[in-house]
Structure 1
Amino acid sequence: MALYGMTDEDLEQMYQEVILDAARDPHGKTDLGVSETESDGSTTLAVAHEYCVPAQSHQFNPTCGDEVTVHVEVSDGTDGNPPRIQRLVWDGQGCSISQASLSVMVDLIEHKTVDEAMKVAQDFHTLMDSRGKGMPEDFDDEALGDAVVFQGVSRYPMRIKCALLGWEGMKASVAQALSALENKPAAVLQTKGR
């Protein structure tokens, strides 16, 4: 595959540089804290945006030891708009691929509606399933933004898990937040923050 007159080797080197840069200066990485512990031992997650429901998921890759906790805050829809990921942050450790993938994921997902975010996550999974072939020719490469650099990673099955770790955490966190929204009484959602 030659892109813009570049050889496969040139592209591979560029991809590696993008991944290493994203791993060195990861977007969305923060120290995740708990706002308070309840008397029953449960914890209340900190929330930076009122009208949002927080949730988080811890993911661990036993193959290589990468681990991450992904925290999301999903808008509750009281403004009449579909649920949106207002905040997406994470804390964890791992190889440069997992850390870079998390950084790129934050850039692509934060502030998107849940439906848009799940579409991007599905596209990223499709890229990882391509085994280095990339996306179909009719695919809009801009939908994945910098995540297309992980096409080279998709050639290595053991590394695919590293690249997908944070994405799985994001999806699990969003599912928890949506479940909490569904189980919340409508009156609480309407008066929240007022």
Structure 2
Amino acid sequence: MALSKLDNLYRYVILDHSSHPHNFGTLEHADEQIELNNPTCGDVITLQLAMEDGVIKQAKFSGHGCSISTASASMMTDVIIGKTKDEALALAKEFFLLVQDKIEPNEAHLGEAVVLNGVAKFPARIKCATLAWKALERAITQDEQEKGEKQADSSHEGEIL
């Protein structure tokens, strides 16, 4: 009986984030932006990040998707604001393990996103839950790669190649 009440609470949290997503919209000035889609179900997300001194100051998402995809994006943006890129990447990795039921939920780290650990019972929905987190991971790693390329290019300034 208690378990079904807990399941209902989790469903409510997911439906609330899906119906009233936090940080939904676009940023006027985004430092990072990426669009990802889940071709198996049609979910599409555009994630935008505004950074200041290596810290995520704002995060917004737009697009369309199922309730799990939208709720996950809403919960993710809540969790990553105020985190460094490294902290955000660590949270994404933790979330990936959570939805595969490989670790215990840690609400202190992932906030309300821990309620999505139930998707482990539905493998087809894991991609829905992880889409926003994959977008976060790619936005951060593509930024780091681009900076590495720019540094490599600038180290050759003035050289004849």
TM-score, structure 2 normalization: 0.84
Unaligned 5+ segments in structure 2 are: 152-161
What residue is the counterpart of 1:148 in the other structure? 114
Q: State the alpha-carbon separation in 2 of the partners of residues 176 and 110 from structure 1.
A: 19
What residue is the counterpart of 1:51 in the other structure? none
- Computed over aligned residues only, the root mean square deviation of the Cα atoms, in angstroms, reads 2.0
CA contact 1:73–1:177 (8 Å) conserved in 2: no
1:23 maps onto 2:5 in alignment: no
Q: State the alpha-carbon separation in 1 of the partners of residues 136 and 121 from structure 2.
A: 23
What residue is the counterpart of 1:175 in the other structure? 141
AA aligned opposite 2:9: M
Question: How much has 1:96 moved relative to structure 2?
Answer: 0.6
Q: State the alpha-carbon separation in 2 of the partners of residues 59 and 125 from structure 1.
A: 16
- Aligned residues, how many? 151
Q: State the alpha-carbon separation in 1 of the partners of residues 122 and 132 from structure 2.
A: 18
Question: How much has 1:174 moved relative to structure 2?
Answer: 1.4
Moved runs in structure 1, 4+ residues, more than 2 A? 176-185
Q: State the alpha-carbon separation in 2 of the partners of residues 88 and 7 from structure 1.
A: 36
Match of 1:99 among 57, 61, 70: 70
Q: State the alpha-carbon separation in 2 of the partners of residues 16 and 166 from structure 1.
A: 19
Unaligned 5+ segments in structure 1 are: 1-5, 33-45, 49-53, 78-82, 186-194
Question: How much has 1:74 moved relative to structure 2?
Answer: 2.9
What residue is the counterpart of 2:125 in the other structure? 159
Match of 1:14 among 4, 9, 18: 9
SS across alignment from 1:70: strand
Q: State the alpha-carbon separation in 2 of the partners of residues 31 and 84 from structure 1.
A: 18
Q: Percent of pairs identical after alignment?
A: 38
TM-score, structure 1 normalization: 0.71
Taking a change above 3 Å as real, the CA distance of residues 176 and 114 of structure 1, as seen in their structure-2 partners, is same
